[in-house]
Chains A and B, each alone.
Chain A
Amino acid sequence: MQPTRVISRHTKDLDTEYKWGFTTEVEEEVAPKGIDEDVIRYIWAKKQEPEWMLEWRLRAYRYWASLKYEEPRWASVHFPPIDYQGIHYYAAPKSVTGASSLEEVDPEIRKAFDKLGIPLQEQSRLAGVAVDAVFDSVSVATTYQKTLEKLGIIFCPFSEAIQKHPELVRKYMGSVVPYSDNFFAALNSAVFSDGSFIYVPKGVRCPMELMTYFRINSPDTGQFERTLIVADEGAYVSYLEGCTAPIRKSNQLHAAVVELVALDNAEIKYSTLQNWYPGDKEGKGGIYNFVTKRGKALGRRSKISWTQVETGSAITWKYPSVILQGDGSVGEFYSVALVNNYQQADTGTKMTHIGKNTRSTVIAKGISAGHGNNTYRGLIKIMPAAHNAKNFTRCDSLLIGDRSGAHTTPYIEVRNPTARIEHEASTSKVSDDQLFYCQQRGISEEEAHFMIINGFCRDIFKELPFEFAVEARGNLAAGSVPPPDCFVGCRLLAMTIRKRISGTGY
């Protein structure tokens, strides 16, 4: 084990609020503002998609239009009405021509990703991680595609998959999240532009982390990407997504759909480091992250695991879920959600147990600071056929600041007598006893807070992919590349605490 570095001494780092807020000057091609059938056709034509895709998009659009711009309002998040006609539904850098080789990528865009610590050269620092970089509505580069191809693994932009692997796309797209699932899924299905597609063939264990990095750049655009991951029998894949956006005064909508399908004995591990622009201290600007993520553990003894670290976005509203359909399948959900200033989060998971001997574990940690409001909302549903289903849920909330809110709303529905469901939750502040203990041993108050918060999230951080964690430590030591978002989230929080303490003349 490397000795732990006391990060909080680098107060310079902490003073920066949101480090990824720069904009990139590239000429972009954008669709006219607003949405109607012509815009859907425009996107379809831009992507040169086959006829069946147009039908699919239009069906979704017509369903969405029938909802009359009324988003569901049951979540405990508050936002002014969204002007759906004031958004560009498609924006792409002009220089991108569906580039496959790196030389074709606009140097400005390359620079942007370099700045984000996501180098697109394959021999770069993030060795062992294959990256699909998505810039606004399009994928600009995908690394290691050739290496992966040798194993039969398909890792490509979604639009490329529609062209090259239509049989797989048609079979699985919408099979987990149908277009009629909810308001934002319908909108996404109508206008989605890009995202990643992964197919891991039978018995193949993907040798490297696959990663998609989403970057919103253009103003007044919405990002609507779609990710589909299929793990065939006995396959394994670990996937990581990261996301950032420039600082802008107005809110931007990000409504993605992620579908995972795991066949017999397959395993998918999906990790998210979400760091969209959270808005400023007064709560102005920031991304609305309204995402539908769902996995279907279709095969016997299949496994789907979600790990998410949510530090960004003005509003996070998502429930990465697992449908445990195959007998003996396993679903996991590990989450840290951090809200600060005026951020809001309503996040959690849904575990639907259908098959026999299915198991699910939910560990959720919520941290609320400033005026932030954090809600865990989760559903554990045991269907009548799910004999011997088991679930364990633990959700803890930590409150920092007397203007913040932490809410826990679990829903448990059990319709089988052999099921075993356990749910535990707690809410508190950083305990005075723990702080006293640390300070008594010479650790400053700020560092003690940081340690305690870090410990609070440890169960989740340890679920992050190993390679990435190693890389993260390296980055921290080097100090030049921005550290992974989760750590920075923690550090920002420690900063907040320090400010609050000094503000109150503690």
Chain B
Amino acid sequence: MPQALAQHKSYQADFERLERGLRFGDAPWLQALRRQAMDSFDQLGFPTALRGNEKWKYTRVAPIAEAAFEHPFDGQPDRVQASDIQGIAPWDKGWTNLVFVDGRYSAALSTPNGAGSSMQAISLAAALATEEALVQQHLARYADFKDDAFIALNTAFLEDGALVWVPPGETLPTPLHILFITTEHQKPVVTYPRVLLVAGSNSRLILIESYISLSSNGYFTNSVVEMLAEEGAQIEHYRFARESPRAYHVGMTRAYLAKDSVLKTTSLTVGCAILRNDLMVLLDAPGASTEVRGLHLTNGVDHVDNHIDIDHAKPYTKSNQYFKGVLDGKSRAVFSGRVLIRQNAVKAQAHQKDYNIILSEGAEIDTKPALEIYCDDVMATHGATAGHVAEELLFYMRSRGLDRELARALLVRGFASEIIDGVGVDSLRSYLDRQLSQALPTHQPERSL
């Protein structure tokens, strides 16, 4: 693939340029980290192989590997005004908001009030100056770049991002929102959003991570989120993505859960050209548990790939996955979940569900909910369905006077709402509800009810 090779060279050139023009007098350890990550990316390359590539079996990475993306060296975070994102991004004045424009922190848009809390939510670039020890201790610890090209690439180009540190025992009074905006550019750009979250023991927080676009062009978002939940920490996490329909988005989330910690994560995805939501949770101590939920709505020629990997490394760990998808147009949705229960992880519980509705001819579902179990004293189940709206339900509604289209729309809406109803932040839920109305096929009742 000479095209991909040429693009690989352009990443290398960009990397060298980045190394030369280091902005904030980086510490040697960080430079070494980037260098290692770049070497790792050079070695791995994009996972474009078709044979024996189980992790990317249903998603072709070639379009990303072959496309030319510019690195926005001269990013101007200030060119986005608050009015530009009104109504587009989920927003609440009461939240603690950190906003990034094309990967750079925008002080003008952000509201890092953190009132009444010793919590730290600052840009990673600033944190490197003030909290270097903390960053050095945790950065790139949970997201391993040795065997993943996308994490390697993100780490190599690590410049800015968000650092969130919640001190032990603290409960954040308001949700924390980290918003990544990609703006209009003449040529497709690539951005590398990065979040590092350290939740101290017995702390509680709500983290909202969202990705939106002010452009309808193609670009590439390559994000990495690292989370550490220390003993007894509780993290409620939402991941919302509504990228440009022509965008490529690869989002890697890596979570490390200590004893009795809880991670509840919900991803809400509106489809785009290629979107990969790649989550790996390591349940590394007894009592750690995670609940992973997701809803994806696809249309046109969207391609959405949810890849969930849960590692029950220790006894008494729990995981629960629940994904739903609604497919329209000629879109394609992939769910590949893997639950690994290691040999000593007795009394582990794991559940996995993936339900899909296909609305139109030409749409395709590929689902692969895998269980890999090496321990006998466990309880694990999984289920997957794919199909259309059940005829019996349609009949029931039509027999009560609803026309077919309306009945169908209501049923689809009800199907999708289940995930949204579980969102624990009111303003986010109502925002998502509006998104849902826009994304789902609209119904025009033949007569008013």
Residues of A in contact with B (beta carbons under 8 Å apart): 73-74, 382, 384, 397, 399-429
Residues of B within 8 A of A429 (CB): 376-378
Flag whether B395 is at the interface (Cβ < 8 A). no
A384 touches B387 (CB 8 A): no
9-residue interface stretch from B24-32, B207-215, B367-375: B367-375
One of A404, A405, A417 near B358 (C-beta < 8 A): A417
Contacting residue for A397 out of B358, B366, B373, CB 8 A: B373
Q: Is the CB of A421 within 8 A of B385?
A: yes
Known A406-B373, A423-B382; 20 more pairs at CB < 8 Å: A384-B362, A399-B373, A402-B375, A402-B376, A410-B368, A410-B370, A412-B384, A414-B358, A415-B362, A415-B365, A417-B363, A417-B388, A418-B387, A419-B358, A419-B386, A423-B383, A424-B383, A425-B383, A426-B382, A427-B379
Which chain A residue has the least Cβ–Cβ distance from B363? A417
- Given A399-B378, A402-B375, A428-B380, is A423 in contact with B365 using a C-beta cutoff of 8 Å? no
Given contacts A403-B343, A407-B370, contact A416 B361 (CB under 8 A): yes
A427 in contact with B373 given A409-B368, A418-B388, A422-B385 (CB within 8 Å): yes
Separation of A74 and B53 alpha carbons in the complex (Å) = 9
- The verdict on A414 contacting B370 (CB below 8 Å), with A425-B382, A429-B376, A429-B377 known, is no
Which one, B52, B376, B378, contacts A400 given CB within 8 A? B376
Given known A-B contacts A417-B388, A421-B386, A412 and B381 have beta carbons under 8 A apart: no
User: Nearest CB to that of A417 among chain B residues?
Assistant: B358
Give the distance in Å from the alpha carbon of A74 to the alpha carbon of B370 in the complex. 14
Closest residue of B by beta carbon distance from A405 = B374
Instruction: Determine the distance from Cα of A36 to Cα of B370 in the docked complex, in whole angstroms.
Output: 40
Give the chain A neighbours of B376 by CB distance below 8 A. 399-402, 404, 429
Residues on the A chain within 8 Å of B360, using CB: 417
Q: Which residues of chain B have C-beta atoms less than 8 A from A399's C-beta? A: 373, 375-378
C-alpha spacing A429/B347, complex, angstroms: 10
Residue with the highest number of chain B CB atoms closer than 10 Å, among A401, A413, A417, A424? A417
Give the tally of cross-chain contacts (CB within 8 A). 122
- Tell me which residues across on chain A come within 8 A of B368, comparing CB atoms: 409-412
Question: For the complex, what is the distance from the CA of A471 to the CA of B360, rounded to whole Å?
Answer: 52
Chain A nearest Cβ from B321, distance in angstroms: 13
Residue in A closest to B375 when the chains form the complex, CB atoms: A402
Q: Which residues of A contact B362 (CB under 8 A)?
A: 384, 415
Q: Is the CB of A426 within 8 A of B377?
A: no
CB contact between A409 and one of B356, B361, B370 (< 8 Å): that residue: B370
Point out the residues of chain A lying under 8 angstroms from B383, CB to CB. 422-425
B364 interfacial by beta-carbon distance below 8 Å: yes
Distance in angstroms between the alpha carbons of A421 and B369 in the assembled complex: 14
User: Beyond A412-B368, A412-B386, is A425–B381 a contact (Cβ under 8 Å)?
Assistant: yes
Check if B432 is an interface residue, CB within 8 A of chain A: no
- Give Cα A424–Cα B365 distance, bound, in whole angstroms: 17
Q: Could you give 11 example pairs across A and B, Cβ below 8 Å? A: A384-B361, A406-B373, A407-B370, A410-B370, A410-B384, A412-B367, A415-B364, A418-B388, A420-B386, A423-B369, A423-B382
Which residues of A lie under 8 Å from residue B356 when comparing CB positions?
414
Question: For A414, what are the chain B residues with a Cβ–Cβ distance below 8 Å?
Answer: 356, 358, 364-366, 386-387
- Judge whether A405 and B372 touch: CB under 8 Å: yes
Q: B370 near A423 (CB under 8 angstroms)?
A: no
B378 & A423 in contact (Cβ 8 Å cutoff): no
Whether a CB of chain A sits under 8 angstroms from the CB of B426 is: no
In this complex, what residue of B is CB-closest to A413? B366
| Assembled-state Cα–Cα distance A384/B361 (Å) | 8
Is there contact, CB below 8 Å, between B365 and A412?
Answer: yes
B359 at the interface (CB under 8 A from A): yes
Contact across chains for B371 and A408 when beta carbons are under 8 A apart: yes
**Shortest Cβ distance from B361 into chain A, in angstroms?**
6
Distance to closest chain A CB from B406 (angstroms): 19
CB of B380 to closest CB in A, whole Å: 4
**Alpha-carbon distance A338/B33, docked complex (angstroms):** 48
Residues of B close to A410: CB separation below 8 A: 367-370, 384
| B54 close to chain A: CB less than 8 A | yes
Which A residues are CB-close (under 8 A) to B386? 382, 412, 414, 419-421
